[in-house]
Amino acid sequence: MFDGMILTALAVGFVLGLRHALDPDHIVAVSTIVSECKSFRRSSLVGTFWGLGHTLSLLLVGVAVVSFKLNLSERVAAWLEFVVALMLVALGIKAVVTAVRGWKFHAHAHEHDGQKHVHLHVHRPGQAAVHRHRHILGVGMRPFIVGMVHGLAGSAGLMLLVLATIPSAIVGMLYIAVFGVGSIGGMFLMSTLISLPFLLVGRRLSLFGKVLQAAVGVVSLAFGLYLIWQYGANGLS
């Protein structure tokens, strides 16, 4: 049914999907979400849902490309990238706020041998008494939406460009599916690896875990602001 050229194109699509999951903006965005996870299972679900959302958006756009021979203009692609930058800023702010929430920094005045001293103290947030059950959809909704936004922007445009050159609509949809499987697998592995320092160290040193989470948030915020400045400097109109 498939000749060698088509099989080669599908294999390339799978490899491109794996590579696409490793783009810096993808890693930064997923890291902010993984920093909140408390287990390897939840961390791997973050990557899986990101890949599913990414694939769904590609399928929707791919149907339009194959059916109506549409092309994404450079202006539209630039605005989609700008939306990704705004999303990175929002994810970064949320990660930082989550990391510092509940921690109290204040000074205590003490007197020793007639001399007054001021000591800075940090109080940990109290543990919630109520056990919360988080369902799969609750864990996966945010990475799913983030994946959808990423699927519409960035190097996915290259995938759609290749897709437009495939004469058969069936092969085109299969190409998207293979590309999506590659991106799901790539982000599944990456989200699991990213969670290692948060889970292995954060469990023993909660303060260090919060510092890592805040650092990831700052990186996401800075990267998003850099992209906003870059697209603003190049002009979006």
Q: How far is CA 222 from CA 77, 91, 106, 187, 198, in A?
A: 22, 11, 28, 22, 21
| E-strand stretches of the chain | 104-112, 115-123
Counting other chains too, the contacts that 129-137 makes at CB distance below 8 Å and 24 or more residues apart are 134/42, 136/45
Alpha carbons within 13 angstroms on the beta-carbon side of residue 229 total 6
Q: Which two tokens stand for residue 21?
A: 């999951």
Domain ranges of the chain: 4-234
pLDDT in tens, the chain (237 residues): 556 777 887 888 889 889 888 889 999 999 999 988 888 888 999 999 999 999 898 888 877 777 776 666 777 778 888 999 999 999 999 999 988 875 555 455 556 556 665 554 454 554 443 444 455 455 688 999 999 999 888 555 656 666 666 767 788 788 888 988 999 999 999 999 999 888 887 666 677 788 889 999 999 999 999 999 987 767 665
Cα–Cα distance, 39 to 184 (Å, whole number)? 19
Alpha carbons within 13 angstroms on the beta-carbon side of residue 59 total 14
Alpha carbons within 13 angstroms on the beta-carbon side of residue 95 total 31
Q: Please state the pTM of the whole predicted model.
A: 0.80
> Position of tokens 């592995």?
189
Q: What angle do CA 229, 230, 231 make, to 5 degrees?
A: 95
| E-strand stretches of 50-205 | 104-112, 115-123
Please provide the size of the chain in residues.
237
Q: How far is CA 102 from CA 76, 95, 98, 105, 123, in A?
A: 41, 13, 9, 10, 8
Which residues lie closer than 8 Å to 237 by C-beta, 6 or more apart?
75
Pairing of strands 104-112, 115-123: antiparallel
Cα–Cα distance, 187 to 194 (Å, whole number)? 10
